[in-house]
A and B are shown apart, each in its own frame.
Chain A
Amino acid sequence: KQEVTQIPAALSVPEGENLVLNCSFTDSAIYNLQWFRQDPGKGLTSLLLIQSSQREQTSGRLNASLDKSSGRSTLYIAASQPGDSATYLCAVISGSARQLTFGSGTQLTVLP
């Protein structure tokens, strides 16, 4: 059974800092990995999708990497802003399961 872990559970940084969020998964036979952002009481916003054959994806100040062999992904946020404050969720679709398995998220606070 696929398990997804996100560390740290919470992170507080001053504005302008570069930061890294971590995601690990137990079954490396994944189809893809997706990073989401969730604001309080809201739905999930898709940030980046990495297919299993890719090593990284970039969108603006965000860069996500994937290392299937070690079961890890990182989300790099450059020059953080207060508007980046949210919970960031990592999810994988495993080859055998037609569903997203989510980590518990990292709650990010960017202080002005």
Chain B
Amino acid sequence: KAGVTQTPRYLIKTRGQQVTLSCSPISGHRSVSWYQQTPGQGLQFLFEYFSETQRNKGNFPGRFSGRQFSNSRSEMNVSTLELGDSALYLCASSLAEMAEAFFGQGTRLTVV
């Protein structure tokens, strides 16, 4: 079966712009989580959605937001991009909350 699909794979944006990243979970999975990975901070939790509801949010500024649609696909939005937002953004899907997580290949965002 298809895995977690993230689009786009690579993105270059300018400071001040906004960006939207997309994640399609494994079919039947209802929980989607987002993580930011940087060399300095490692993997940090952004937010988790289950059945279109945000169930948990990490310690990130309000510029980071997300949503989940009725088909469980999720989008993450970052507004007013800063250089420090350059990172690998990873999406994970699970059959249920706190079940085994399966990750996508990530979106590499570079802010210049």
Residue positions of A touching B, CB distance < 8 A: 31-32, 34, 36, 41-46, 49, 89, 91, 93, 97-105
Q: Is the CB of B98 within 8 A of A93?
A: yes
Q: Is the CB of B45 within 8 A of A43?
A: no
Q: Is the CB of B56 within 8 A of A98?
A: yes
**18 A-B contact pairs sorted by A residue (CB < 8 Å):** A36-B103, A43-B103, A43-B104, A44-B90, A46-B100, A46-B103, A91-B101, A93-B98, A97-B56, A99-B45, A99-B48, A99-B56, A99-B58, A100-B33, A100-B45, A101-B45, A102-B42, A102-B43
Interface digits, B3-24 against A, CB 8 Å rule (1 contact, 0 not)?
Answer: 0101000000000000000000
Q: Give which listed residue, A41, A49, A98, contacts B48 with CB less than 8 A.
A: A98
Query: Which residues of B sit under 8 angstroms from A93, Cβ to Cβ?
Result: 98
The SS class assigned to the A binding surface is strand
7 A-B pairs with the lowest CB-CB distances in the bound complex, closest first: A44-B103, A102-B43, A99-B45, A43-B105, A98-B56, A43-B103, A49-B100
Q: For the complex, what is the distance from the CA of A100 to the CA of B34, rounded to whole Å?
A: 10
Output the nearest chain A residue to B46 by Cβ-Cβ distance: A99
Q: Is the CB of A43 within 8 A of B106?
A: yes
Q: Is the CB of A99 within 8 A of B42?
A: no
Output the nearest chain B residue to A100 by Cβ-Cβ distance: B101
Query: Which residues of B sit under 8 angstroms from A103, Cβ to Cβ?
Result: 42
Q: For the complex, what is the distance from the CA of A59 to the CA of B42, rounded to whole Å?
A: 26
Q: For the complex, what is the distance from the CA of A24 to the CA of B22, rounded to whole Å?
A: 33
B38 → A minimal CB distance (Å): 11
Q: Give which listed residue, A43, A91, A98, A102, contacts B97 with CB less than 8 A.
A: A98
Output the nearest chain A residue to B91 by Cβ-Cβ distance: A43
B64 located at the interface, meaning its Cβ lies under 8 Å from any Cβ of chain A in the complex: no
Q: Is the CB of B98 within 8 A of A31?
A: yes
